[in-house]
A and B are shown apart, each in its own frame.
Chain A
């Protein structure tokens, strides 16, 4: 890695003692000796293992659940169903007033995705829990499922989630989050060329080497200590408090050493049910996702569809950009309504475009609920935007790198969401890339700056 200090030297002081120094990481000695304690490195005498009975169907009504054989299985201590969960219908973003509550901790009457948690089995050993889970009988009436976002938005599509009432998240702005800036149709009308293209992704897993999980120990004082690899301690504690209708003061969360997160450990999934198990049995409880669960049950990065329509001039200026983004939330909201609206705030990318129209939708389908991941709301959009930029440049016969200089945002430029640009550095990154990759651009671009005089 090279630090290029010649850029922005005029706005930076390089006289610090500790900042900017390549100090050794204080946690590494623990890592290389195997001494670092991850949550699963704690075990307690009498600890129970929790295994989840999951839906084999993408969408089904639950006619009945029979746990009697599982309860009699040797080694089984407790079997939990929806009725055991004090506040079974929840949504994590309710803490920042993004509702409605739309997800069940344990399925109640219906399952909406293949893999949804239905019954929790707590037993003395993992094997006993697995054997008992196989004995839980659930009678399902299979319902039509929808997997394609466009199909889901059509009238008459199977309704995925009754708590929403339609297969999209209803923002205060309506069926989508909107950004309107300038007059996009006038921009298209005056453009030399129009290019409309569609981009698609499929779900992506964080795939941390350590799977999601927690170990819960009941303390003698009516409190519960939860060793967890959550990415957000109080987010998890406060949601658990709501789900279990238990004062937060009864909960003690210990974490902070996580075997990779990448956004995959911000959902509140394992902790509430494990703590409930510990509360109802008085025993320590361990609930750790198997690798298969991590890969297919834990929330992935959402699949997205992005449609971009651009109006561009022969000289390279983009004069109008319309973006329609669809985020495949799967069966429940989790963080997806936030991600979709974060996308609305990110488009049209780091370019100054006078006429912009953005609609971003959060769509429900019968698949594993998606949630946050590294680059949440932005990564797939950037793929779409930057491939579109390449196509536009070739359409008008410009060098793709030079084309970006023409449109790059600079300090003071007004963004579509009506914030002036501050601290821009796109131009300098491109100038340095031009040098590093031996991709020459015209001298006028190498002479550009993100600064604007007087800005």
Chain B
């Protein structure tokens, strides 16, 4: 069947249309249009929604709600999302960032999806018509998810509390060898009071480095303080092997890069 695009004014109507076989939701197009161009004939119906809520960014009271159609470029230039600008700019070149959406990034398979790694570290929640879901739970079942993501919510990190690193072979734009996002809070004595560390490319989708997080609690961010966290960094990971790097390499250099990020 030939390809056809249907546009709906509300997410609700679009969700209803997605019930039909052979349909897929069109976000920015970096995944779906590419698949169609490359001859994926399993999709014949593209569904999108022009619901204004999908394009809205709301920041208030230290919390952010970002519509799923908001692009990486829009996040990168938003004055209240400065902490996330580095992570948003890590996605693609300028044209891709004008296209790639925050909603789409949640579905991007490794080595893509660097912004979703940031969202995971932020402990974001994902809104669909089924309600609000913690991002970790959402990512776990994203392959079966049919409901349109309408927005993503998270608490803005404290100044300097958010760290992000993307390692790629090609500069300034290349896909990830790995990416790391960390939200760190520190007590008055400088020790880590809470840590959330998310990893990209260390599994088929973004994952938390929970052993490293635990090992970091109560420690100072110095060479000795982070040693246990680095030793535990690869616990639970199943890195991908792809043309960029092997699982072996990713596992070998994860502690190195995590250490550099934590000491930066």
Chain A interface residues toward B at CB < 8 A? 51, 125, 127-128, 130-131, 133-134, 290, 292
The answer to whether B38 and A127 have CB atoms under 8 Å apart is no
- Residues of chain B with a CB closer than 8 A to A51's CB: 39
Task: List B1-57 residues whose CB lies under 8 Å from chain A.
Answer: 1-3, 38-39, 41
Distance in angstroms between the alpha carbons of A290 and B38 in the assembled complex: 7
Q: Which residues of A contact B39 (CB under 8 A)?
A: 51, 130, 133-134, 290
Residues of A within 8 A of B1 (CB): 131
The chain B residue sitting closest to A290, CB to CB, is: B38
Expressed in whole angstroms, the Cα–Cα distance for A134 and B1 within the complex equals: 12
Residues of A within 8 A of B38 (CB): 290, 292
- Chain A to chain B contacts (Cβ below 8 Å), 9 pairs: A51-B39, A127-B2, A127-B41, A130-B41, A133-B39, A134-B39, A134-B41, A290-B39, A292-B38
Map CB proximity to A onto B74-105 as digits: 1 under 8 Å, 0 otherwise.
00000000000000000000000000000000
Number of A-B contacts (CB under 8 A): 16
Bound complex: CA A108 to CA B210 (Å):
55
| Closest residue of B by beta carbon distance from A130 | B39
- Residues of chain A with a CB closer than 8 A to B3's CB: 127
Chain B residue at minimal CB-CB distance from A135:
B41
Alpha-carbon distance between A134 and B2 when the two chains are bound, in angstroms = 14
Chain B interface size, as a band, is under 10
| Chain A residues near B2 (CB-CB < 8 A) | 125, 127-128
New contact pairs (11) apart from A131-B1, A290-B38, A290-B39, CB-CB < 8 Å: A51-B39, A125-B2, A127-B2, A127-B41, A128-B2, A130-B39, A130-B41, A131-B41, A133-B39, A134-B41, A292-B38
Nearest-CB residue, chain A, relative to B2:
A127
Q: Which 10 A-B pairs rank lowest in CB-CB distance, beginning with the nearest?
A: A130-B39, A131-B41, A134-B41, A130-B41, A127-B2, A127-B3, A292-B38, A290-B38, A51-B39, A131-B1
Q: Which residues does chain B contribute within 8 Å of A131, judged by CB atoms?
A: 1, 41
Most buried by A among B1, B38, B39: B39
Min CB distance B163 to A, Å, is: 35
Chain A residues whose C-beta falls within 8 Å of the C-beta of B41 in the assembled complex:
127, 130-131, 134
Which residues of chain B have C-beta atoms less than 8 A from A134's C-beta?
39, 41
Min distance, Cβ B244 to any Cβ of chain A, angstroms: 14
CA distance A125 to B39 in the complex (A): 12
Q: Among the interface residues A125, A128, A131, A133, which one has the most CB atoms of the partner chain B within 10 A? A: A131
A131 to B41 CA separation, bound complex (whole angstroms): 6
Compute how far the CA of A292 lies from the CA of B41 in the bound complex, rounded to whole angstroms.
16
Residue on A nearest B39 in the bound complex, by CB: A130
The docked-state distance in angstroms from the alpha carbon of A327 to that of B244 is 25
Cβ of B212 to closest chain A Cβ, rounded Å: 35
Q: How far is the CB of A347 from chain B (nearest CB, A)?
A: 32
Q: How far is the CB of B45 from chain A (nearest CB, A)?
A: 13
Q: Which of chain B's residues has its CB closest to A292's CB? A: B38
**Complex: A130 Cα to B44 Cα, angstroms:** 12
CB proximity of B165 to chain A, nearest CB, Å: 28
Minimum C-beta distance from B43 to chain A (A): 11
Minimum distance in angstroms from B168 CB to a CB of chain A: 18
Q: Which residue of A lies closest to B42 (CB)?
A: A134
**How far is B2's CA from A355's CA once the two chains are assembled, in angstroms?**
67
CB distance from B49 to the nearest CB of A (A): 24
Alpha-carbon distance A51/B1, docked complex (angstroms): 16
How far is it, in angstroms, between the C-alpha of A292 and the C-alpha of B34 when the chains are bound? 12
Cβ-closest chain A residue relative to B40: A130
Chain A proximity mask over B58-81: 1 for CB below 8 Å, otherwise 0: 000000000000000000000000
Complex Cα gap A242–B39 (Å): 32
Closest approach, in angstroms, between the C-beta of B30 and any C-beta of chain A? Answer: 15
Q: Which of chain B's residues have a CB closer than 8 A to the CB of A125?
A: 2
- Taken together as a complex, chains A and B put the C-alpha atoms of A332 and B2 apart, in Å, by 37
Using CB atoms, name the residue of chain A closest to B1: A131
How far is it, in angstroms, between the C-alpha of A309 and the C-alpha of B136 when the chains are bound?
57
Q: Which residues of B contact A133 (CB under 8 A)?
A: 39
B247 CB to nearest A CB, Å: 19
Complex: chain A residue closest to B41, CB-CB: A131
| Docked pose: A133 CA to B40 CA in angstroms | 11
Complex Cα spacing A134 to B38, Å: 13
Can you name the residue of chain B whose Cβ is closest to the Cβ of A133? B39
Task: Report the separation of the CA atoms of residues A217 and B139 in the bound assembly, to the nearest whole angstrom.
Answer: 50
